[in-house]
Amino acid sequence: MNICVFLSAADLPERYTRPAREFAELLGKGGHTLVWGGSDKGLMKVVADGVEQSGGKLLGVSVEFLAASARPVPAESGEMIITADLAERKAQLLARADAVVIMVGGTGTLDEATEILELKKHGMHTKPVVLLNTAGFYDGLREQFQRMEDEGFLPLPLTELVLFADKARVAEWRGADSRMEEFLKYFDGLAEAPSVADAVPESPLLGYSDYPSQLRAPVAGSVPFVGDAALSLDAMAGVGCGFALLTAELLADSLDGRSLAGDDLREGLDQYRRRFEENLLPHAEGICGDSLVGKNEATRLRMFETICESQELSQKYLALTGRMVRPAEFQREFMRGLMARSKRAART
């Protein structure tokens, strides 16, 4: 998949560069191509380095007046395009992309983001757009977008234009002294939940405040990996044991009847790698992407209302949760359902 990333070329502190490196590694290990503004400076360099070092490809789109700072891209690693002006550059970036990610940046990044969203608003493209809200950088922009939606400035629901991805989770539950108190306070504040105000803890509160999803190569040299050694995903996805058994089955099938030596072993491992990438990576990447996206109650309600209005879409969703169809297949049907729903609402 070609993933276009709009971001800054400035040198930024670790609170921005660390998440960028993690994101770049995820892209590279997934075999994706980074489509970006082509610069070899600042955060753009951090992401390009991370993708290339993790095995991904690069497709840069620079502009003539910035050509001196464009990254040298060897033919085996990708391609660098130099456009005449910024308008052509933005058009090329969008045309070459399957999906768009907006990371932290300045006025240039904001210009690119708003143009992409304006084109999507008018139906000029349907590519998913995700805004990575690192360290709350885009909190103000999200608030402004929400006001636009609330006061009728947007013809589509905000969540159909852009998804805001926040990685922070239950940070207030950290710390040995206060984590249990804050944990109980949270659940006591849920309207539908029974009161836990008088709860007496029987043990300390243990657990993860964040469980990062990890995708790894299924084969290293002559050593194959299965289960969590090959990929470990957020436990909320509920796929750990199933994926572990599936990787073991794929490996067993790939090596069945082989001598486990020389070319026979290499061919078996190559077959396992291909089947792993074909069968598991699409689901794993969908789970990783979904885990980054913050969802409010209105978003969830709109999603399930859309699914329930169509028997075909409902069946697709059940198949998706059972990992019997790939996320991209469901996403196409879901976007069609959203667009049909919007048209019905406009007529009424």
pLDDT tens for 22-43 read 899 888 888 899 999 999 999 9
Confidence bin at 201 (pLDDT 50/70/90): confident
> Which of 258, 288, 318 is the endpoint of a domain?
288
Gyration radius of the chain's alpha carbons: 22
**In the numeric block, which tokens belong to residue 11?**
């040198």
The whole-model pTM stands at: 0.55
Please determine, for residue 327, whether its predicted confidence score (pLDDT) is greater than 90: no
**In the numeric block, which tokens belong to residue 44?**
């753009």
Question: Hey, which residues does 131 pair with through a beta bridge?
Answer: 102, 164
For residues 106 and 64, membership in a common domain is answered with: yes
Please determine, for residue 230, whether its predicted confidence score (pLDDT) is greater than 70: yes
- Average pLDDT (252-277) is 90
Number of domains in the chain: 3
For residues 139 and 252, membership in a common domain is answered with: no
> Which of 263, 288, 313 is the endpoint of a domain?
288
For residues 158 and 39, membership in a common domain is answered with: yes
Please determine, for residue 111, whether its predicted confidence score (pLDDT) is greater than 50: yes
Q: How far apart, in whole angstroms, are the C-alpha atoms of residue 54 and residue 216? A: 10
Share of the chain above pLDDT 90, in %: 36
Q: What is the pLDDT of residues 96-110, one digit of tens each?
A: 998 899 999 999 999
Checking 323-328 for CB contacts under 8 A at 24+ apart, the result is: 323/239, 323/242, 323/283, 326/282, 326/283, 326/286, 327/282, 327/283, 327/285, 327/286, 328/282, 328/286
Tally the C-alpha atoms within 13 A of residue 187's C-alpha that lie toward its C-beta: 13
**Would residue 279 count as lying in a domain?**
yes
For residues 25 and 54, membership in a common domain is answered with: yes
Please determine, for residue 145, whether its predicted confidence score (pLDDT) is greater than 50: yes
For residues 280 and 305, membership in a common domain is answered with: no
For residues 283 and 312, membership in a common domain is answered with: no
**Would residue 180 count as lying in a domain?**
no
Q: How far apart, in whole angstroms, are the C-alpha atoms of residue 51 and residue 63? A: 22
Q: How far apart, in whole angstroms, are the C-alpha atoms of residue 134 and residue 165? A: 8
Q: How far apart, in whole angstroms, are the C-alpha atoms of residue 115 and residue 218? A: 39
For residues 100 and 133, membership in a common domain is answered with: yes
- Average pLDDT (204-231) is 75
**In the numeric block, which tokens belong to residue 85?**
């002006």
What is the DSSP annotation of 22-58? HHHHHHHHTT-EEEE--B-SHHHHHHHHHHHHTT-EE
- Average pLDDT (80-86) is 95
For residues 107 and 153, membership in a common domain is answered with: yes
Higher pLDDT: 296 or 258? It is 258
Q: How far apart, in whole angstroms, are the C-alpha atoms of residue 247 and residue 323? A: 14
Q: In which residue are the tokens 């996403």 written?
A: 331
| pLDDT given at position 335 | 82
**Beta strand segments in 84-173, E:** 99-102, 129-132, 163-165
| pLDDT given at position 175 | 59
Provide the CATH number for the domain around residue 135.
3.40.50.450
Please determine, for residue 93, whether its predicted confidence score (pLDDT) is greater than 80: yes
Please determine, for residue 115, whether its predicted confidence score (pLDDT) is greater than 90: yes
Confidence bin at 211 (pLDDT 50/70/90): low
**Would residue 330 count as lying in a domain?**
yes
Report whether 222 contacts 201 (CB < 8 A): no
> Phi, psi (5° rounding) for residue 52?
-65, -45
Please determine, for residue 58, whether its predicted confidence score (pLDDT) is greater than 90: yes
Please determine, for residue 178, whether its predicted confidence score (pLDDT) is greater than 70: no
Report whether 59 contacts 35 (CB < 8 A): yes
- Average pLDDT (121-149) is 89
Of the candidates 232, 218, 245, 6, the one whose C-alpha atom is nearest the C-alpha of residue 109 is: 6
**Would residue 187 count as lying in a domain?**
no
Range of the domain at 238: 214-288
| pLDDT given at position 169 | 43
For residues 28 and 125, membership in a common domain is answered with: yes
For residues 20 and 100, membership in a common domain is answered with: yes
Lowest mean pLDDT segment, chosen from 4-8, 124-128, 283-287: 283-287
For residues 46 and 9, membership in a common domain is answered with: yes
Please determine, for residue 134, whether its predicted confidence score (pLDDT) is greater than 70: yes
Q: How far apart, in whole angstroms, are the C-alpha atoms of residue 188 and residue 198? A: 10
Please determine, for residue 294, whether its predicted confidence score (pLDDT) is greater than 60: no
Report whether 133 contacts 140 (CB < 8 A): no
For residues 86 and 147, membership in a common domain is answered with: yes
| pLDDT given at position 83 | 96
Share of the chain above pLDDT 70, in %: 85
**Would residue 194 count as lying in a domain?**
no
Of 82-86, 136-140, 237-241, the range with the highest mean pLDDT is 82-86
**Would residue 198 count as lying in a domain?**
no
**Would residue 177 count as lying in a domain?**
no
